[in-house]
Amino acid sequence: MAWRLTGQSAQPTLFGNPSPDIIGDGASHTIYGGVCWSTVPRCRQFDDRGKMKVRFENSPINELVIATYFNPPLFALRSEHVGLFWSRVRDEFPSVEQQAPVGGAEAFEQLGGEFFPMPRFWFVADDKVNLIQLQKNAFMLNWRRRDADYPHFDENLKPAFDRYFALFEDFARKDVGVDQINIDLCELTYINTIESCEYWQGPQDTARVIPSFAIPDVGIEGIATPAFNCTYVHARSEDLQLRVSIRNGEATAKPKTPVLILEIKAMGRLGHAGKSDADAWFVRAHDAIIDCFVHMTSKEIQDRYWKPLGEVS
């Protein structure tokens, strides 16, 4: 499932580019615009060495996005090339859709002979769970829960991204004439959603899930619990920042059903990097996101409802 924003508060800009809306289609949640305050949810600082990875049997993850952005964009890539790439993945992604490009102005640049900027293409699996996104300056892979179990980043999702990216590199070299793809910006996004349940029935219960979360007391008697839409940026290193967003809304498929969304996005500008450098960055980004999620959220909720499967070094 994904969601749509209504009246979203302004998001911070990272590394000079707005973070694109790369979330899959089929919106099922309406997010209320809200307020931001100074209380910062806790993401514990940690050492990269000796990292432990925690897994949950009932993880609230709803969508994961692995994204790479190129600089320079692949100017030689045109809409008429896209069918050649689709032929390489069509057995797994039989549907194609067009969307507006996302990202900075470079996504809209065009060469002579092009009447319109090349759109962003979606290659969608039959079950709608997996989605490849392609535009002149970006290649992305989405996993969306639908009715599927979470297949885990290390064992399945990152290897799948690597396989499709290798197909894309081969296509770019043989069919487009691009000798080298320079990866400038990487993003890894985890979107966790919690619909009304035993431990969270609305905004007033958010601190049960995120103990450091607080709604300010505005001193007005009888006021309803407000909608909120808050974003915090944590600098982990020069090339790795975490953007933590906490929002509440309503499940559009289930009117009046409240939903809590915790999105953790790792972003890093690598410059003119190759695929191996991006791979190393994604390892660090994944560890940082998991560490942030585990230390932000309630251990009681983790143990009782999400059920840890143990730690793997």
Q: How far apart are CA 235 and CA 193, in angstroms?
A: 24
- Which of 27-31, 50-54, 72-76, 247-251 comes out lowest in average pLDDT? 27-31
Distance separating alpha carbons of residues 230 and 213, to the nearest angstrom:
10
Pairing of strands 308-312, 53-56: antiparallel
| Overall domain count for the chain | 1
Q: What gap in Å lies between CA 303 and CA 120, rounded to an integer?
A: 41
pLDDT tens-place string over residues 124-168: 999 999 999 999 999 999 999 988 889 999 999 999 999 999 999
Is the pTM of the predicted complex or chain greater than 0.75?
Answer: yes
Contact partners, residue 147, CB within 8 Å, separation at least 6 = none
More confident residue, 5 or 311: 311
Structure tokens, 177: 């004439």
The residues, any chain, with a CB within 8 Å of residue 90's CB and separated by 6 or more, are: none
Residue 126 CB-density burial (10 A; 0-12 exposed, 13-18 middle, 19+ buried): exposed
Domain coverage including residue 180: 2-312
**The dihedral formed by the CA atoms of 45, 46, 48 and 49, expressed in degrees to the nearest 10:** 160
